Structure 1
Amino acid sequence: MTDSMTLDDVREPTLPLALPPALPPDERPRGGFRPAMPPEAPLVMPVQDLSQWDAAARRRPSRAETRPWAARAFVFGGAAALTAYGTLQMYEVISVSGGATALQYVLLVLFTLTFSWIALAFTAAILGFFALLRAKPEPAPPTALATRTAVVMPVYNEATARTFAAVQAMREAVEATGLGDHFDWFVLSDTTQADAWIAEERAFLKLRDELGPEARLYYRHRPKNHHRKAGNIGDFVSRWGAAYDHMLVLDADSLLSGGCIIGLTAAMEADPDSGIVQSLPLIINRNTLFARVQQFAARIYGPVIATGLTIWSGRDGNYWGHNAIIRTRAFAEACGLPDLKGNPPFGGHILSHDFVEAALIRRAGWGVTMLPRLEGSYEESPPTLIDLAVRDRRWAQGNLQHARVIGAAGLAPSSRQHFATGIMGYLASPLWLAQLVIGVALVLQTAWVRPEYFSAEFGLTPVWPRFDPVRALQLFGLTMGILLAPKFLGLFLALIDGAVRKASGGGIRLVLSFLIEILLSALIAPIAMLIQSGSVFQILAGRDTGWNPQRRDDGSIPLSDIVRRHRWHTFLGLLTGVAAFAIATSLFLWMSPTILGLVLAIPISWASGQLAWGLALKRFGLLGTPEERTPPPVAVRAAELTARNARHGFDDADALRTLHADAGLAHDHAAMLPQGASRPRGTIDTDRTLAQAKIVEADTLSEASAWLQPKERMALLHDRALLDRLARLRAA
């Protein structure tokens, strides 16, 4: 500890903070510091009660609502009929000897559950297919607006070069429509890493200075990322929401064209009963093999599935958490999320908040709709199978947690169906796995277990678990046909659409891309089945997931990590293959697609994440999409700005050294911190206390930088007194 400074000298300072003099005028933004956020406009956001609901409190629509009963009858009635037929055929398969064993009945139940899941997707895709066949051109975008919209991008430890480039590109696109005055732009940070936080502030200050005082660009960092993204959005709505009619919610990888943003806003203005209007994001900018497969599938098959969902849902639609516009007051009135009783993974704050917000806003009487044909909505996707698994683990917990919400009072039946669909999306994998295991057990029983002649029900012949091979093969064909039908329907629509066909490389390349996607998806399917099954088992065992930032850039994962993540998949594939071949050659052949995918899990995962492989297919025009052949102008501009921003090096700089070297930035950073005491009196913040002790002990910036742990760095950056002490350290 230095002779001139003691712990008692480092206290909460009174404002204004006496930092070193600002940099010369030519080295810092002109005009002094402007507030990073507009004046607060509070909006009450009460926490909702899921256990009870007064129907009288439901808002009455301004005009009569019609529900798509015919579409729902077709989708759910057709799925029920197909499931009944498939179940009957499966019973005929297993009861060829005049009866079925208990194990065979278990197989029948598992088959019925999984078959109903794919049958529902099939009938919805049929509905979407015929709707798109008859679709008319979309109307021209409006030329006038009458409301104010906040465009909000929540960020969490993201690369600033990319996020601020996206914000600037979208803002420029909206300004080009002549309607830019109706939009304000917000970057809402929940970042928990010191370097990323200061990089965000530097990028914000530079961009705001570049755009000028009329930019209406704002930035806010929360001291604690309470309730994660839902809490981030909730904080904005409760503090600034009253100033805006709508908010357009983005993700850090979102890109929307000016026309799409105007179209969403106009749709909300035209429908006073809408609470949420969701767009259909298409995947762009992907180059690894795995990501290109996802990009192709989303572009060719996605519209068929989304259109069918939109038609049968009607005004009882769903919300995917981003690229959607929301009526701010409706959101505040209806979407204050409660904590669920108990601990994670099923208790605590609601992880997958978007489905719940859609259900609650619909319960309150507002419509939730989707515009699947509105062009210009884009996102990105994980570059590798392992990256997808990391994100999928979080989604699995969030969707299974909805089992605690699906029975909430007052929800529309369609909202409950959306919850059920999300839950089943993750339960399907362990159900498929169980079905596979039961099938193997039945074959094993047939081959090795001695029949019991003198059972309680005496018979002259033993009861064998037999199967009808012809019916089994027919049922397998039916199942595969229903499973793959949405893909074939999407391919057909792309082939008959001249513009899409040509932009995807022509008919031959489009078909070849389709076959590549089918093959890779089939190989990846058993790996994904085991990964999702493992996630479900972990969640049911009570294991909570974290919330790591998503890796968005193209790039391979070290082979050692791939081997570590997939070695058990490979071992299980080898074990299953040897066992199946030992039991019966027919069983081995039947299971060969699953066995092959698992045995090759390591090379498949490695190859799918290779940038070179994806780019090679791109050079041959395979797995191409119209957006890749002719990139959207907003994406081109965002890429240019990302490259420019990367040259500033904000994301590579050390936060403490940056603040120490730039007194003007340090002053602006302190000015952006919340006013008042950073902690209640009488409480001890361990991280701040340790940071205080270390920063007082240090004589130089190098010592402080070496001693401070990540959480202590964040505590220092939140504290004006410690920032003042940091500025006084010697640079050596």
Structure 2
Amino acid sequence: MAPGPGGPMPAHLPPEAPLDMPVQDLRAAPARSASTTIPGRLPSSPGGLWLRRLVVIGGAILLTAFATREMWLVLNSGRPTPLQAVVLGLFVVLFGWIALSFTSATCGFLRLLLGPDRRLGIAPNGPPPLPASRTALLMPCYNEDPARIMAGLQAMQESLAAAGALDRFDTFILSDTTQPEAWVAEEAAFLALHGRLAAQLGAPPRLFYRRRPKNIERKAGNIAEWVRRWGGAYPQMLVLDADSVMEADIILRLADAMERHPDVGLIQTLPIIAGGNTLFARMQQFAGRVYGPLIAEGIAWWHGSEGNYWGHNAIIRTAAFAAAAGLPELPGRRPFGGHILSHDFVEAALLRRAGWAVHMVPWLRGSYEESPPSLMDLAIRDRRWCQGNLQHAAVLPARGLHWVSRLHLLTGIGSYITAPVWLVFLLAGVLLAIQARFIRPEYFPAGPSLFPEWPVVDPVRAMWVFIGTMALLLVPKLMAWFALLRHPLDRRGSGGMIRAFLSLLVETLLAGLLAPVTMLTQSVDMVSILLGRDSGWNAQRRDDGSLPFAQVARLYWRHTLFGLVFGAAAWAVSPYLALWMSPVVLGLALAIPLAALTARRDLGLGLRRLGLLWTPEERATPAALARARQLQAELAARPPVTLPELLRDEALLAGHRAMLPPPRRPRLDPFDPALLVGLAKLEEAANLEDAQRSLSRAELAAVLADARGVERLVELA
């Protein structure tokens, strides 16, 4: 590795401490951990958990049963037609989904009123204890902006140093970057960060960098490869994301909780969205900060020790993860077969299957992430998540899963299935209205009958069913607003009672208009996946969400056309039906301007100046978050290191050579076609510019990862 300013050349990786991580057989009974002392009950599991689940799930069932009866009466379904039966069945699915969310959120509201359920003995305040063991902080990254990654890591390192705990943590940057330009900039940014920290701390920091030449199994494979090489040296690992920032306080409390509770395999925090500037990101940020704690408190209360994992900002017992969470490759072809994309839900289910507790601690503050900046960026991420969650159907039959873990997997599937279900429900409702409007009913059906059958839809009862459904959707938002008001710092940080309520109205209006757009996008994604089209894996945009208006129009003109046709069909049946359908029609018809306007920074910052969509973290920015933003602004202002600079800078070049992967082992490792072709092209190249023009990205990355290729590039430079 290249030396930092004023420091010697340290090793870029620590000595390996291998830990076996076998691939799990989903059809075989799992080996149980020694932590389970009571069958079906873990030591850290809260008491009365069965009653909590009865309240939440039983309450949702009762609400759904009542609403189904009312809908049955709305349709006057003594003898339902096939179309009526379809509408009723879809209504039950959609209402049940809403009812479960409502009962869970209501329990979260009560928990916030009574005080959070602070299990695991984690105190939210007071000086945090220093852990006795060493923890690994893992930062996986894939073609990300190095300024964001290094700024977040430096802020966390400084926070831990201020707490006097830096010697208890080793930090690993686990790069899966494939773009050679991003890789060069990433390496240079790491070397600069190492040098800055060494100068600040007066000693080389425990900060390491590893890039995989082949990003097999993506993020899950990235973490698994680290476990197999270094996991034996670390009792626990804290998994981050490229946009993660965490305060030292919460990191220390998590590490202490893992040490004190040997039955716990994973503790998930509630990452608060921060740093949004576009209107869309600020909507997501406000919703996550105001509604998020209520929702998270609810699910943590009834999930108990059978919680879930969201893939980042969570601490994991390394040995438990290695023994229980080795992901198998699913049978069949993509998109359903192959490597598991949405790995986090499955890893949590496998940990619990092996007898390890999985907890969520939403009351702890100090865990942060960022939001996609636009509806378009959310759609790209959703496409990958949709495919990954549908893969969970192949995991559901696995032997030994806890029933709550199966419910998590079903919930992940349902979060995308509900979009086409809602779409079909709307279409079936319009068809039902068309049938009643234009098709002559059969008053006297075949067979003996004393009285005619009058097909009547009860409009008053239909209105109350609609109002009740909207109440289940909107009341949790009002509960979250009320809970916010009970905390003076949060209330002032959100702009006060009035501005927070106005922000709630703005977010609800915009989210309601965008919901049908997302519904149609996810429905199209479902069809695409069912047709066998793989989503791939693209790096996320995290700053600017704007696109040229023509490109937005190309993405959403079908949504607009569908909305106009849908609205015209509803109007042709009845102006009253068109009025009922107007929120959906309006959102779809305005899809293009909505997507374009919500991606703009000036609108988001304009509302911020008016005091709307504020969050407490903006008014009183936590120290680590403020430091990360300051560092990111400073680092982003510097031009990234280019390939010619790498090849001509002796320090950077020495660092790059030190971090090269081991060479291919003859007769053991397969040939790399991209490397062979790249080396051949380099031999024929006249200079570096000629080489860069002739090499593809994959070939350039391959030769940069090979000592022979680097030497030839240096010659050409």
Please state which band the TM-score falls in when normalised by the shorter chain.
Answer: over 0.9
Are the aligned partners of 1:313 and 1:414 in contact in 2 as well (CA < 8 Å)? yes
1:346 match: 336
How far has the Cα of 1:654 moved from its partner? 2.9
TM-score (norm 1): 0.93
The one-character-per-residue Cα deviations of 1:206-245 (angstroms, maximum 9, x if unpaired) are 1112222431000000010000000000000110001111
Q: What are the residue-to-residue correspondences of 1:605-644 with 2, within 5 Å? A: 605-644=595-634
- Give the Cα separation in 2 of the matches to 1:245 and 1:205: 27
- Give the Cα separation in 2 of the matches to 1:681 and 1:511: 64
The one-character-per-residue Cα deviations of 1:429-462 (angstroms, maximum 9, x if unpaired) are 1111111011000000111112345643455776
In the alignment, structure 1 residue 504 sits paired with structure 2 residue 485: no
1:40 match: 16
- Give the Cα separation in 1 of the matches to 2:613 and 2:532: 40
- Give the Cα separation in 2 of the matches to 1:508 and 1:459: 62
Aligned-residue identity in percent: 51
The one-character-per-residue Cα deviations of 1:235-257 (angstroms, maximum 9, x if unpaired) are 00110001111100000000111
Structure 2 counterpart of 1:196, which letter?
A: A
- Give the Cα separation in 1 of the matches to 2:713 and 2:169: 38
2:59 match: 78
Q: What are the residue-to-residue correspondences of 1:25-424 with 2, within 5 Å? A: 33-54=9-30, 59-61=35-37, 63=43, 65=45, 66=47, 68-95=49-76, 98-135=78-115, 138-212=124-198, 213-424=203-414
Which residue of 641, 665, 683 maps to 1:696? 683
Are the aligned partners of 1:347 and 1:401 in contact in 2 as well (CA < 8 Å)? yes
Of 263-272 and 595-604, more deviation after overlay is shown by 263-272
- Give the Cα separation in 2 of the matches to 1:646 and 1:496: 39
Q: SS in structure 1 opposite 2:581? A: helix
How far has the Cα of 1:120 moved from its partner? 0.3
How far has the Cα of 1:676 moved from its partner? 3.1
Rate the CA distance shift 1:57–1:147 in 2: closer, same or farther, 3 A. closer
Of 216-225 and 260-269, more deviation after overlay is shown by 260-269
Are the aligned partners of 1:286 and 1:554 in contact in 2 as well (CA < 8 Å)? no
- Give the Cα separation in 1 of the matches to 2:31 and 2:681: 58
2:120 match: none
- Give the Cα separation in 2 of the matches to 1:679 and 1:432: 57
How far has the Cα of 1:502 moved from its partner? 1.2
Q: SS in structure 2 opposite 1:277? A: strand
- Give the Cα separation in 1 of the matches to 2:18 and 2:478: 50
Q: SS in structure 2 opposite 1:105? A: helix
2:511 match: 521
Structure 1 counterpart of 2:150, which letter?
A: F
Of 140-149 and 374-383, more deviation after overlay is shown by 140-149
1:670 match: 657
- Give the Cα separation in 2 of the matches to 1:364 and 1:709: 45
- Give the Cα separation in 2 of the matches to 1:409 and 1:141: 43
Are the aligned partners of 2:269 and 2:360 in contact in 1 as well (CA < 8 Å)? yes
Q: SS in structure 2 opposite 1:232? A: helix
Are the aligned partners of 2:44 and 2:261 in contact in 1 as well (CA < 8 Å)? no
- Give the Cα separation in 1 of the matches to 2:627 and 2:33: 47
Of 256-265 and 372-381, more deviation after overlay is shown by 256-265
Rate the CA distance shift 1:31–1:379 in 2: closer, same or farther, 3 A. closer
Structure 2 counterpart of 1:586, which letter?
A: Y
The one-character-per-residue Cα deviations of 1:537-557 (angstroms, maximum 9, x if unpaired) are 111222111100000013411
The one-character-per-residue Cα deviations of 1:139-170 (angstroms, maximum 9, x if unpaired) are 42423221110000000000101101100101
Q: Which segments of 5 or more consecutive residues in structure 2 lack a partner in the other structure? A: 117-122
Q: SS in structure 2 opposite 1:253? A: coil
2:567 match: 577
In the alignment, structure 1 residue 440 sits paired with structure 2 residue 420: no
Q: SS in structure 2 opposite 1:721? A: helix
Q: Considering only aligned residues, what root-mean-square deviation do their CA atoms show, in Å?
A: 1.9
Structure 2 counterpart of 1:107, which letter?
A: V
- Give the Cα separation in 2 of the matches to 1:294 and 1:614: 11
In the alignment, structure 1 residue 654 sits paired with structure 2 residue 634: no
The one-character-per-residue Cα deviations of 1:304-327 (angstroms, maximum 9, x if unpaired) are 110010010110000000000001
Of 209-218 and 522-531, more deviation after overlay is shown by 209-218
Which residue of 386, 409, 428 maps to 2:418? 428
How far has the Cα of 1:513 moved from its partner? 0.4
Structure 1 counterpart of 2:702, which letter?
A: A
Q: SS in structure 1 opposite 2:275? A: coil
2:481 match: 491
How far has the Cα of 1:718 moved from its partner? 1.3
Structure 1 counterpart of 2:22, which letter?
A: P
The one-character-per-residue Cα deviations of 1:329-355 (angstroms, maximum 9, x if unpaired) are 111010110000011111101110000
The one-character-per-residue Cα deviations of 1:598-636 (angstroms, maximum 9, x if unpaired) are 111111111111100000000010010100111111111
- Give the Cα separation in 2 of the matches to 1:460 and 1:543: 56
How far has the Cα of 1:670 moved from its partner? 1.8
- Give the Cα separation in 2 of the matches to 1:461 and 1:573: 42
The one-character-per-residue Cα deviations of 1:381-422 (angstroms, maximum 9, x if unpaired) are 100001000001111111111011112100111101111111
Rate the CA distance shift 1:58–1:563 in 2: closer, same or farther, 3 A. farther
Rate the CA distance shift 1:64–1:691 in 2: closer, same or farther, 3 A. closer
TM-score (norm 2): 0.95
Number of residue pairs matched?
Answer: 702
- Give the Cα separation in 2 of the matches to 1:682 and 1:646: 39
- Give the Cα separation in 1 of the matches to 2:150 and 2:334: 34
Structure 2 counterpart of 1:609, which letter?
A: A
The one-character-per-residue Cα deviations of 1:261-303 (angstroms, maximum 9, x if unpaired) are 1121122122111100110001000011111111000011111
Structure 1 counterpart of 2:627, which letter?
A: R
Q: SS in structure 2 opposite 1:218? A: strand
Rate the CA distance shift 1:588–1:43 in 2: closer, same or farther, 3 A. same
- Give the Cα separation in 1 of the matches to 2:670 and 2:234: 37
Q: SS in structure 2 opposite 1:648? A: coil
2:119 match: none
Structure 1 counterpart of 2:9, which letter?
A: F
Are the aligned partners of 1:315 and 1:367 in contact in 2 as well (CA < 8 Å)? yes
Structure 1 counterpart of 2:114, which letter?
A: R
The one-character-per-residue Cα deviations of 1:187-213 (angstroms, maximum 9, x if unpaired) are 000000001111111111111122224
2:555 match: 565
Of 162-171 and 49-58, more deviation after overlay is shown by 49-58
- Give the Cα separation in 2 of the matches to 1:683 and 1:219: 25
How far has the Cα of 1:55 moved from its partner? 6.2
- Give the Cα separation in 1 of the matches to 2:672 and 2:599: 42
How far has the Cα of 1:678 moved from its partner? 6.5
Structure 2 counterpart of 1:100, which letter?
A: P
1:726 match: 713
- Give the Cα separation in 2 of the matches to 1:687 and 1:299: 46
Structure 2 counterpart of 1:721, which letter?
A: R
- Give the Cα separation in 2 of the matches to 1:83 and 1:363: 30
How far has the Cα of 1:185 moved from its partner? 0.7
